[in-house]
């Protein structure tokens, strides 16, 4: 295995960024999992202040983050033979990311997302067409090709359950460390379904709402919206490090012995697309580089702050050369 090399697994998309204030933010206090809603006038025409084409998807975003931060990176993702697929492949190669495990599917269209950015913090809602991302192959023959000391697993769609089992079985057999940021399809299976994999996970990362969803899947109405309580409850599943991000407020970490917190940097962001991937990838890069939760948290907050200051999920990612000025 090559030192400091990681494989990312997840989606890749062409993102269309749309900005508007022609909406209403609605408090939804009756649902812990959907506390804020965005409303548009029915039948209205909504105009954008800007329109930007970027790249996204958890597999691609995290690959670019790791590569920019100086780790030799490969990725497993699926694309079509269309122009979007060609653009994604060219971008990965331009970033020096190994594409030997990228899967090209001629029978489907590459993933595309329409991202609406709204509100004071430019929070977003994503309308996603998964396309080729639904066809990602994690058969035993594929996962046996993973030869890196780390895997970063993000959202999986389609028929993911067999692939998930194959991946964790291979990583456990080869003693490959897994960082896992599960997607909505995985989260909907509930904490009990995920726990058998969490015990083989080194770093488990979710945001506050996702943590609540998992806790509620077990505790039901007894669930309280308290991050420390959620951290401790989720950590009982056996992962080594549990991370809960809390948007513009910061992030919390628990390793079974100690709680850590790092406040977000108070900067007005242009958009939050990719902030979660930037945080998660940088945190894991920090663990690999420094073997320190404190330094990993610092790097993660700096990186996610840099990403929200630029349009799209990848344009603001820190470079390895930036780390000296932050004493990292």
Digit-by-digit pLDDT tens for the chain (328 residues) are 445 599 999 999 999 988 888 888 888 888 877 888 888 999 999 998 888 899 999 999 999 999 999 999 999 999 999 999 999 999 999 999 999 999 999 999 999 999 888 876 667 788 989 999 999 999 999 999 999 999 999 999 889 999 999 999 999 999 999 999 999 999 999 999 999 999 999 999 999 999 999 999 998 877 788 899 999 999 999 999 999 999 989 999 999 999 999 999 987 777 778 899 999 999 999 999 999 999 999 999 999 999 988 888 899 999 999 999 999 9
Tell me, yes or no, whether 322 lies in a domain: no
Tell me, yes or no, whether 41 lies in a domain: no
Q: Write down the pTM of the prediction.
A: 0.90
C-alpha dist (Å) from residue 163 to 14, 16, 68, 302:
24, 29, 28, 33
Tell me, yes or no, whether 326 lies in a domain: no
Tell me, yes or no, whether 305 lies in a domain: yes
Q: What is the CATH number of the domain that holds 133?
A: 3.40.1190.20
> Rounded CA gap, 70 and 83, in Å?
29
Tell me, yes or no, whether 148 lies in a domain: yes
Dihedral, CA of residue 174, residue 105, residue 102 and residue 11, to nearest 10: -90
Tell me, yes or no, whether 39 lies in a domain: no
Q: What angle do CA 62, 66, 68 make, to 5 degrees?
A: 115
Q: Does residue 278 contact residue 29 with C-beta atoms inside 8 Å?
A: no
Count: domains in the chain = 1
Tell me, yes or no, whether 328 lies in a domain: no
* Domain that residue 133 falls in: 5-34+50-316
């Amino acid at each position: 295995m090559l030192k400091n090399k990681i494989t990312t697994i997840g989606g890749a998309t062409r993102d269309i960024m749309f900005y508007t204030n022609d909406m209403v933010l609605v408090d939804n206090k009756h649902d812990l999992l959907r506390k804020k809603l965005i409303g548009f006038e029915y039948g209205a025409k909504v105009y954008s202040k800007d329109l930007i084409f970027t790249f996204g998807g958890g597999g691609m975003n995290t690959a670019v983050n790791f590569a920019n931060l100086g780790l030799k990176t490969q990725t497993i993702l699926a694309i079509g033979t269309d122009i979007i697929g060609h653009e994604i492949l060219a971008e990965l190669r331009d970033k020096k990311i190994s594409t030997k495990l990228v899967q090209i599917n001629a029978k489907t269209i590459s993933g595309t997302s329409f991202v609406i950015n709204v509100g004071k913090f430019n929070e977003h809602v994503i309308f996603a067409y998964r396309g080729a991302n639904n066809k990602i192959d994690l058969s035993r023959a594929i996962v046996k090709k993973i030869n890196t000391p780390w895997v970063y697993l993000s959202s999986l769609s389609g028929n993911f359950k067999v692939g998930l089992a194959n991946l964790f079985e291979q990583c456990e057999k080869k003693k490959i460390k897994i960082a896992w940021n599960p997607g909505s399809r995985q989260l909907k299976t509930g904490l009990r379904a995920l726990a058998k994999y969490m015990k083989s996970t080194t770093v488990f990362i979710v945001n506050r709402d996702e943590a609540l969803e998992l806790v509620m899947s077990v505790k039901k109405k007894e669930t309280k919206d308290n991050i420390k309580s959620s951290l401790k409850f989720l950590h009982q599943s056996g992962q080594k490090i549990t991370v809960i991000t809390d948007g513009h407020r910061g992030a919390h970490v628990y390793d079974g012995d100690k709680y850590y917190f790092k406040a977000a940097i108070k900067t007005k962001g242009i958009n939050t697309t990719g902030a979660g991937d930037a945080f998660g990838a940088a945190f894991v890069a920090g663990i690999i580089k420094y073997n320190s939760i404190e330094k990993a948290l610092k790097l993660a907050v700096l990186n996610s702050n840099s990403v929200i200051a630029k349009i799209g999920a990848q344009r603001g990612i820190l470079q390895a050369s930036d780390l000296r000025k932050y004493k990292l």
